[in-house]
Amino acid sequence: MITMANLLSMFILMEVVAGGFRFGVDGLRMDYYIMSCPFAESIVENTVNRALQDDPTLAAALVRMHFHDCFVEGCDGSILVDSTEDNTAEKDSPGNLSLRGYEVIDDAKEQLEDQCPGIVSCADIVAMAARDAIFWSGGPVYDIPKGRKDGRRSKIEDTRNLPFPTFNTSELISAFGKRGFSAQEMVALSGAHTLGVARCSSFKNRLSNADANLDSNFAKTLSKTCSAGDNAEQPFDATQNIFDNFYFNALIRKSGVLFSDQVLYTTPRTRNIVNGYAMNQAMFFFDFQQAMVKMGKVDVKEGSNGEVRQNCRKIN
């Protein structure tokens, strides 16, 4: 006689099987490569770890690359495409010229093509590399679904959708809202600035205009940085290669580097979120990983809507 527990188990199993068929082979899944390229994740992780051991600053670069990819045309690897004579690609727009880490993606892709030709997309490599860079830097560990296809479009004009360092909170909320993110998710994702640096050209406008929301001593620090030119770099917080909540504490001290950083604290709508993350790193980590998984699903290409590039720098 079949017990109620057995019936329930059978029902759950049927749901799982049906779910697998419903999403199909092209749907995003945690185990997308388990049969077709079982070592895909470890190859990417090992490649990222080797690169970061040589240059820890690449962690911020890989996270930023993923964000700049997903915010333009969705998470489809379009940021990796090189410009050609008849097309100026995303990576050559002013907002992307300081992006780094392309060679890490190339390295992982080359190894994956040796192991499993034509299987692992460049878009998935970018998403996995960002996740692995965050964990390597001391941030939260989380998994992401895979199965993104690479896009066939990369045009400089599409980068107008990227948020600018001069954005106020309303503009940030609007820009992220168009991608389906709440104000809280926007603040959590902004916490990625706990890694890395900003160039003087991104914040020097704060120095020429007296900014009441900028600590006077920190303003002197920024001025000293900019004395070396537009490309001089200023860390976002005191631990530029460690993923922590120091970024939010800096905002409370009026020591946010970018205008778009500091407004998160000066605006009542987002101030309490900043306070919460500054006081509770675990809460920041949890919200950040949730928002990153969500970001990795923005306008992904699946099935025939995309391809798996042989070379991440050019469309097949």
Q: Where are the domains of the chain?
A: 39-161, 169-296
Enter the pTM of the model.
Answer: 0.90
- Mean pLDDT of all residues in the chain? 91
Class of 169-296 per CATH?
mainly alpha
Q: What is the pLDDT of residue 57?
A: 97
Please tell me the least confidently modeled range out of 10-19, 84-93, 242-251.
10-19
The reply, when asked if residue 78 is annotated as ligand binding, is yes
69 marked ligand binding residue: yes
Distance of CA 133 to the CA centre of its chain: 10
User: Could you tell me the two tokens for 239?
Assistant: 């631990």
| Residue 78 structure tokens | 């379009």
41 labelled ligand-binding: no
Neighbours of 211 (CB within 10 A): 18
Yes or no: say if 187 and 256 are a contact pair by the CB < 8 Å rule. no
Residue 244 among known ligand-binding residues:
yes
Q: Is the pLDDT of residue 279 over 80?
A: yes
* Residues identified as active-site: 68
Judged against a pLDDT cut of 80, whether residue 7 lies above it is answered with no
Provide mean pLDDT across the span 80-99: 95
What percent of the chain stands above pLDDT 90?
A: 87
CA angle 130, 96, 79 (to 5 degrees): 55
Question: What does the alpha-carbon distance between residue 293 and residue 289 come to, in Å, rounded to a whole number?
Answer: 6
Name the CATH code of domain 39-161 (choices 1.10.1740.10, 3.40.630.30, 1.10.520.10, 1.10.10.10).
Answer: 1.10.520.10
pLDDT at 297 over 70: yes
User: Would you say 221 is a known binding-site residue?
Assistant: no
Calculate mean pLDDT across residues 48-59: 98
Does pLDDT of 5 surpass 70?
no
Chain-centre distance for alpha carbon 303: 23
pLDDT the model gives residue 248? 98
pLDDT for residue 264: 98
Lowest mean pLDDT among 85-94, 120-129, 210-219, 260-269: 210-219
